[in-house]
Amino acid sequence: MSMAIRGWTTVTAWGLGREAFAGALERRPPPPVSSLEVREASGSLSIPFLKADLSAVKDFFPPRALRRVDPFGKIALLLAAALVKERSPGEREALGLIVATGFGSFSTNMEFLDTAFAGGHAAASPMVFSSTVHNSAMAACAIQFGIRGPSLTLSMFEHSVPGALLLAQAWLERGLCPEVLLVASDDVPALTAYFHARKGEVFDPERPETLLAEGGAAFLLGSGGGHSICRSAAPADARYGTGGAPSHAYAYGRTYVAPAFELAAACLETDQREGAGRRIALEFPGQPRWLLTRSG
Amino acid sequence: MKRPPVAVTGMGLVCAQGNSVAEAMRNIFESPRGPVPPARFATPLSEFPVFEVEGEFVRALGRDLPPERYTRTVRIAAAALEEALAAAGLGVADLMGRRVALLVGTTVGVTLSDTAFYRAYRDGKAPGIGPYDSFSASNPGLALADLLGVPVLPFTVVNACASSTDAIGLGKWLLDAGMTDLVLAGGADEVCEVNHTGFASLLIYSRHPCSPFDLNREGLNLGTGAAMVVLEREADVRSRGGTPSAWIAGYGTAQDGYNMTAPHPEASGLRRAVGAALEEGGVGPEGLAFVNAHGTATRDNDQAEGRLFARLLRPGTPVVSTKGYTGHTLGAAGAVEAVLSLACLREGRLMKSGGYSAYDEAVGIAPSVVERAVEGEYALSTSMGFGGSNAALLLRGGRA
């Protein structure tokens, strides 16, 4: 069975939506590089990275709604809002929801420890602790949009997005929900930057694919025409992917949710081709091969 | 819609009551161990007792498990998986050439919990990155897949305290859909300084052995635990000469969409999850021999869950919470409780629910406080998690 991709969007350092992503893919504007401070024996070290441009959140949410949401959750909420904000409450209630993440609430876990170290264990923040669960972004989306269907978070580094695609297909085939909202989201924990820096890795501001990156992509999956995706070993016109397959990391940076960006790039590419039938294989190490096609 | 059950051909368990299914069941019925002050990590919050597991688990699945590389969560998960595979009569070599999915539910297993490392980093001492390497190597689903050393499709499910109920249920659905031929599923979690401190901060942590559903309940005790099951389609088991005696008959999952930490007061999501699990198994509430509830002993959880069961269940249906024996093992809880429930169905006896003495009108049910024979072949195991995640498994089994 194929799944139809009824909508998709991305958010990166270049901004929200397909135009921003297409710009990064095709015109390669200079990467908007931010810096992340990590602690070192000699003080702090500034590491260039790609910070997601979340300025559009104000278009969807009042500031009060996001007071307790961490960056991982804000990325997920922004992506979800862009895809389902216009849906009726009934349609949103019936949605299935899967969040795929490499790090989940890693940063918030460290923030919680900061509160325990700063004020003593007895003064650790319950408010922060309540957001340390890795399904916090999923919960924020469910609460914000009234989603009541099956919901799930996967956190297994680069395998999260391919795993989420497989489970979304299982849900749709089973008839659990008419559509699945698949949200891939990751921020960049400072400790991760420290780890990569200690390993001596190079972060080149001129080469975005070397920079740790925040961001994500979301897909509304269901039935119907347009883009469709299925597991298949059938011949393809092009290969996109990670771990050896041609990648577009220059347009989103280094992230464990890269497979979601590759799928978005494939959607964009097939949209821009004349006629039907262009097929793009999506290949991720240790995972089934997916085939994206565009019809009509 | 009713769906066929999938067979449970092997189970493995590591919890405070023992490091195998048999040992844990024996201790629960004969000499249950209680919670003790935390001893595996330094904490000023020693007044909150925990259910800890004995042993270091430095070898399983034919592999050395050095603690500096693999977290305790992964090591106990590997031990539980080893027991489950052995019970199923499967060696690692038997997995070669089969489409195998591996699903592990967890919470702590996907976090960096080495507080000494983080404190050193925070203090600008530039610590070595060994603990981060261990974090990277210890994602439970990926680590177990790596330790097996055969191609499997890995999943690490992080749905808070419903994680491993979901892992087992999703495994059933992957089998139903023909996406895999064999499933290894369960969960693992450990008590550590981070979650110990966190639950204390939430003021839902008990200084005494927990007392699920009791009027005077003070909150939960955390526990370390892991449980894994081997799932196969019944026809596949029979084709290799086996006769299943335990099944996952149904699974349901639903989201509250209500609050980050508190369950919906009327257990809206759990009600739908339970309804879906029963429908999938083709069984009504009257067909349940017992319910192993989430039963954390927190005020909100027990009240929401109790109200649901008071409305849903046939009067007299025994309800227990096994967290009085294992503590709340968080992401592992659903799998631990499913395995204990299946073991009860197999042995034909049900443990009493620990720590209960006084009826709470607001809860609306009294758990079973005597050991009793199991009358029937179906049991329900429920999970509720932070983030509004709810899941239920309908289990089927009989006397071996």
The span from the CA of A244 to the CA of A289, in Å, is 13
Please identify among residues 32-61 of chain B the ones whose CB lies closer than 8 Å to any CB of chain A: 43-45
**Over its length of 400 residues, how does chain B's per-residue pLDDT go in tens digits?**
899 999 999 999 999 999 999 999 999 999 999 999 999 999 999 999 999 999 999 999 999 999 999 999 999 999 999 999 999 999 999 999 999 999 999 999 999 999 999 999 999 999 999 999 999 999 999 999 999 999 999 999 999 999 999 999 999 999 999 999 999 999 999 999 999 999 999 999 999 999 999 999 999 999 999 999 999 999 999 998 888 989 999 999 999 988 888 899 999 999 999 999 999 999 999 999 999 999 999 999 999 999 999 999 999 999 999 999 999 999 999 999 999 999 999 999 999 998 999 999 999 999 999 999 999 999 999 999 998 999 999 999 986 5
Contact A134 B158 (CB under 8 A): yes
Chain A CB contacts of B141 under 8 Å are 156, 159
- Measured between CB atoms, which of A68, A129, A170 is closest to B202? A129
For residue A174, give the H/E element and its range: helix A160-174
Q: B202 near A126, Cβ under 8 Å?
A: yes
Substitution target in A37, A127, A155 with the highest count of B β-carbons within 10 Å is A155
The distance of A32 to chain B (nearest Cα, Å) reads 28
Contact A113 B194 (CB under 8 A): yes
Angle in degrees, CA A47, A49, A52, rounded to 5: 145
- Residues in chain A within 8 Å Cβ distance of B160: 133-135
Q: If contacts are CB pairs under 8 Å, which of residues 108-137 in chain B contact chain A?
A: 110-112, 115, 118-119, 121-126, 128-129, 132, 136
CA dihedral (B42, B48, B54, B59) in degrees, to 10, reads -50
CA-closest candidate to residue B188, choices B106, B307, B96, B294: B106
Return d(Cα B123, Cα B134) in angstroms, integer: 21
The dihedral over CA atoms of B104, B107, B112, B115, expressed in degrees to the nearest 10, equals: -140
- Candidate list B161, B192, B210, B344, residue with the active-site label: B161
Q: Tell me the three state secondary structure of residue B115.
A: helix
Model pLDDT for residues A143-189, shown as the tens digit of each residue: 999 999 999 999 999 999 999 999 999 999 999 999 999 999 999 99
Tell me which residue has tokens 């399904």: A135
Measured in degrees and rounded to the nearest 5, phi and psi for residue B214 equal -80, 150
Instruction: Give the Cβ contact number of residue A215 at 10 Å.
Output: 31
Residue B83: how many other CB atoms lie within 10 Å:
24
Catalytic annotation present for B328: yes
- Residue A272 and residue B17: Cα distance in Å, rounded? 61
Instruction: Check: CB of residue B334 under 8 Å from CB of residue B277.
Output: no
Side chain identity at A249, as an amino acid letter?
Answer: A
Closest-CA residue in chain B for A169?
B177
Give me the amino acid identity at B115. Answer: T
The nearest alpha carbon in chain A to B254 belongs to A150
The answer to whether position B299 is within a domain reads: yes
Q: Which of residues 172-201 of B touch A (CB under 8 A)?
A: 173-174, 176-177, 179, 194, 197-201
DSSP element (H, E) containing A119: helix A106-119
Best of A134, A159, A256 to mutate (most B CBs within 10 Å, chain B): A134
> B391 Cβ partners below 8 Å, 6+ apart?
B159, B162, B165, B166, B169, B251, B252, B253, B273, B334, B382, B383
The reply to whether residue A152 touches residue B166, judged by beta carbons under 8 angstroms, is yes
The closest CB to that of A166, out of B45, B157, B179, belongs to B179
User: Does any domain span residue B162?
Assistant: yes
Nearest by CB to residue A170, choosing from B179, B260, B269, is B179
Ranges of residues in chain A whose predicted pLDDT is under 70: 27-28, 274-277, 296
Q: A38: closest CA among A201, A267, A230, A224?
A: A201
Which of chain A's residues have a Cβ under 8 Å away from the Cβ of B166?
152
Q: Rounded to a whole number, what is the distance in Å from the CA of B393 to chain A's nearest CA? A: 14
Both tokens of residue A273?
Answer: 């081709």
Token couple for B61: 């699945």
Backbone angles phi, psi at A280, to 5 degrees: -120, 125
- Residue B251 β-bridge partners: B393
**Domain-located, residue B1:** no
Number of domains making up chain B: 1
Provide the b/e sequence for B154-167 (b: ≥16 CB within 10 Å): bbbbbbbbbbbbbb
For residue B259, list chain A residues with Cβ-Cβ distance below 8 A.
143
- At B338 the pLDDT is 98
Q: Which amino acid is at B135?
A: F
Q: Do B142 and A156 touch (CB under 8 A)?
A: yes
For B281, the token pair is 């198994």
Tokens 């429908």 correspond to B279
Helices (H), chain B: 21-30, 72-87, 115-122, 130-137, 140-148, 163-176, 193-201, 234-239, 268-281, 299-312, 323-326, 333-347
Domains of chain A are: 3-224 (3.40.47.10)
Alpha carbon distance B397, B6 (integer Å): 12
Q: Does residue B11 form part of some domain?
A: yes
CATH number at B205 reads 3.40.47.10
For residue B20, tell me if it sits in a domain. Answer: yes
Tally of CA atoms within 13 A in the half-sphere of A100 that contains its CB: 29
CA–CA min distance A50, chain B (Å)? 22
Least CB–CB distance from A139: residue in B110, B254, B260: B260
Q: Amino acid identity of A183?
A: V
ipTM here = 0.97
* Alpha carbon of B153: minimum distance to chain A alpha carbons (Å): 7
**How high is the pLDDT of residue B400?**
56
* pLDDT tens-digit series, residues A105-140: 999 999 999 999 998 898 999 999 999 999 999 999
The answer, for B388 touching chain A at a CB cutoff of 8 Å, is yes
- Active-site choice (B192, B210, B328, B344): B328
> Given this model, what pLDDT does residue A119 score?
87
The Cα–Cα gap between B284 and B279 comes to: 8
Alpha-carbon span A79 to A240, nearest angstrom = 22
How distant is the Cα of B328 from the closest Cα of chain A, in angstroms?
15
Residues making up chain A, counted from first to last = 296
Are the Cβ atoms of A40 and B126 closer than 8 angstroms?
Answer: yes
Instruction: Classify residue B110 as exposed, middle or buried by CB count within 10 Å of its CB (0-12, 13-18, 19+).
Output: buried
Question: CB atoms < 10 A from the CB of B128, how many?
Answer: 10
- Asked if residue B245 is part of any domain, the answer here is yes
Residue among A150, A153, A194 whose CB faces B158 most closely: A153
Helix, strand, or coil (residue A291): strand
Q: How many CB pairs under 8 A join A and B?
A: 197
B155/A contact by beta carbon, under 8 A: yes
Contact assignment for B115 to A152 by CB distance below 8 Å: no
Instruction: Verify whether residue B264 is a known catalytic residue.
Output: no
| Contact in structure between A16 and A264 (CB atoms under 8 Å) | no
Domain range for B379 is 6-397
Q: What is the identity of the amino acid at A20? A: A
CA distance, residue B205 to nearest chain A CA (Å): 12
Contact predicate A276/A295, CB 8 Å: yes
Looking at residue A203, what DSSP letter applies?
-
Question: A146 vs B257: CB contact, 8 Å cut-off?
Answer: yes
Which residue do the tokens 């177990």 mark? B144
